[in-house]
């Protein structure tokens, strides 16, 4: 297959949020330097400067909206002309026929999936360069979709056994497996939970679009502290000839910018929100970036606030950017949006915590009209990001992009 001349790789930032931070940190820790670009850069033709495009997780439908018709066309043309596309989770979903159609792959309907699996799972892998150096192919999936593909798409890995410390919704896999409890739990929850339903389903796919290569993974090789994932990222980089030689780009942190009132207020507010959820037994920590929350409350949204806030604080430790008028103004705008959101979110979490004691609720359904109204205000009725929460994370995300790129 013809390849583009060796160039750097790009990481598409829009509508990734927590998953963008995860991908960027994982690539950086491996010394794989990607330029962070936005949908507007794609529309303006900037993909011509790159040989590979990495697309992190996130809601694929929101990524399509951010790209717009011009951005979708630019990605399609980039790949057809020989560029490589790598999508993780939501970034993989973006490339399916349900998204922009790079590969003849579709997402299974929700009713046929195990929609809430998370954690370590062993794969069955093929003989492929991606798996070089992997002795035991255990990786992490975080609430993935499930795919079906035609015979023109190569399956590089399928799901095998879920490890005992994984979860399906808020149910520990090892505990449920030891009791043989899956069928009863599925009746109670009203969704598929047993991770055995995932076995032999495709987890990593590869195909071609025009002259370009497309790799789609429902596995998060960018999971923090995952040695196997880091090895695969390096293998993937070499396999696609995606960028320049590796260089260490990890920065060391200095003193916390505690003298910045806006940042201190933001950090205190988010820390208080996470602490409230912990002391009310609504979530536990899975790894440095992800929480595990109880069914009945939203958890990913609060986790996203924590991660974006922490990343911004870390960058401000490393950079004089806090003195820049633009970033200072953006930080103040974030504070004005975030503080009232956090106060209402705390109220909602306490109400949900007690509602859980009185009956079965989900994050979508609750008989209490006061809880329902507050949920709609803060998050909208959408499963994807909406409501006042979307305003907050858009502001955080814009500031983070500015600090990461200087533009």
8-240 fold: Rossmann fold (3.40.50)
CA distance 85 to 108: 22
Q: Report how far residue 208's alpha carbon sits from residue 60's, in angstroms, rounded to the nearest whole number.
A: 20
User: Structural domain boundaries of the chain?
Assistant: 8-240, 261-405
**Pairwise CA distance, residues 272 & 243, whole Å:** 41
DSSP-derived pairing of the beta strands 8-12 and 34-37: parallel
As a whole number of angstroms, the distance between CA 151 and CA 12 comes to: 29
Question: Which of 269, 322, 272, 277 lies closest to 296, judged by CA?
Answer: 277
Inter-residue contact 39 to 72 (CB < 8 Å):
no
CB contact at 8 A, 326 and 402: yes
**Other CB atoms closer than 10 Å to residue 367's CB: what's the count?**
10
Query: What local confidence, expressed as pLDDT, does residue 256 receive?
Result: 45
Spatial separation of the C-alpha atoms in residues 121 and 216, rounded to whole Å: 17
Closest CA to 260 of 342, 308, 316: 316
What percent of the residues of the chain are helix, what percent strand, and what percent coil, each to the nearest 5? 45, 20, 35
Residue (of 179, 182, 219, 218) closest to 197 by Cα position = 182
CA distance 401 to 321: 12
Separation of alpha carbons 234 and 374, rounded Å: 45
Contact 33, 26 (CB under 8 A): no
The Cα 286–Cα 293 span in angstroms is 10
The angle, 0 to 180 degrees and rounded to 10, between the axes of the packed helices 387-405 and 300-318 is 30
Residue 122 bridge partners (DSSP)? 138
Phi, psi of 4 (to 5 degrees): -70, 155
Residues 6+ apart with CB under 8 A from 44: none
Cβ neighbours of residue 189 closer than 8 Å, sequence gap 6 or more: 169, 295
β-strand pairing of 84-88 with 50-55? parallel
Nearest to 74 by CA among 40, 109, 119: 40
Contacts of 110 (CB under 8 A, 6+ apart): none
Looking at the DSSP bridge assignments, the partners of residue 9 are: 34, 52
Tens of pLDDT along the chain (407 residues) come to 444 445 689 999 999 999 999 999 999 999 888 999 999 999 999 999 999 999 999 999 999 999 999 999 999 999 999 999 999 999 999 999 999 999 999 999 989 999 999 999 999 999 999 999 999 999 999 999 999 999 999 999 999 999 999 999 999 999 999 999 999 999 999 999 999 999 999 999 999 999 999 999 999 999 999 999 999 999 999 998 654 544 444 443 444 444 478 999 999 999 999 999 999 999 999 999 999 999 999 999 999 999 999 999 999 887 655 557 788 889 999 999 999 999 999 999 999 999 998 877 887 788 899 999 999 999 999 888 999 999 999 999 999 999 999 88
Token pair listed for 280: 């009310």
Angle between helices 325-358 and 261-279 (to 10 degrees): 10
Q: What is the pLDDT of residue 65?
A: 96
- Identify whether the C-beta of residue 307 lies closer than 8 Å to the C-beta of residue 342: no
DSSP code at position 200: T
- How far is Cα 113 from Cα 136, in angstroms, rounded to an integer? 26
């Amino acid at each position: 297959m013809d390849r583009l001349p060796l160039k750097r790789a790009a990481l598409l930032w829009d509508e990734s949020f927590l998953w963008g931070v995860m991908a960027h940190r994982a690539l950086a820790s491996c010394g794989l330097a990607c330029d962070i670009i936005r949908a507007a850069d794609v529309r303006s033709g900037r993909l011509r400067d790159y040989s590979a495009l990495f697309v992190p997780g996130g809601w694929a439908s929101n990524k399509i909206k951010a790209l717009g018709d011009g951005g979708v066309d630019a990605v399609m043309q980039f790949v057809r002309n020989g560029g490589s596309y790598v999508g993780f989770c939501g970034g993989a979903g973006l490339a399916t026929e349900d998204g922009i159609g790079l590969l003849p792959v579709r997402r299974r309907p929700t009713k046929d999936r195990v929609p809430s699996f998370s954690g370590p799972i062993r794969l069955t892998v093929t003989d492929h360069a991606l798996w070089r150096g992997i002795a035991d192919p255990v990786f992490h999936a975080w609430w993935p979709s499930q795919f079906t593909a035609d015979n023109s798409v190569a399956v590089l890995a399928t799901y095998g056994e879920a490890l005992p410390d994984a979860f399906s919704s808020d149910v520990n896999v090892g505990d449920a497996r030891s009791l043989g409890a899956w069928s009863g739990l599925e009746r109670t929850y009203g969704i598929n939970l047993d991770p055995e339903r995932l076995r032999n389903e495709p987890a990593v796919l590869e195909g071609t679009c025009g002259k370009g290569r497309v790799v789609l993974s429902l596995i998060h090789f960018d999971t923090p502290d995952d040695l196997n994932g880091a090895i695969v990222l390096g293998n993937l980089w070499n396999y696609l000839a995606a960028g320049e030689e590796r260089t260490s780009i990890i920065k060391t942190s200095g003193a916390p910018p505690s003298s910045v009132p806006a940042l201190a207020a933001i950090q205190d507010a988010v820390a208080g929100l996470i602490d409230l959820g912990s002391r009310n037994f609504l979530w536990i920590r899975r790894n440095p970036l992800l929480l595990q929350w109880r069914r009945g409350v939203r958890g990913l949204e609060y986790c996203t606030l924590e991660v974006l806030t922490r990343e911004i604080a870390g960058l401000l430790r490393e950079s004089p950017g806090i003195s820049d008028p633009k970033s200072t103004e953006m930080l103040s705008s974030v504070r004005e949006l975030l503080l009232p959101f956090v106060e209402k979110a705390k109220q909602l979490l306490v109400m949900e915590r007690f509602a859980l004691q009185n009956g079965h609720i989900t994050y979508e359904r609750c008989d209490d009209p006061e809880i329902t109204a507050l949920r709609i205000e803060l998050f909208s009725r959408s499963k994807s990001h909406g409501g006042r929460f979307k305003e907050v994370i858009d502001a955080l995300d814009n500031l983070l992009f500015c600090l990461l790129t200087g533009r």
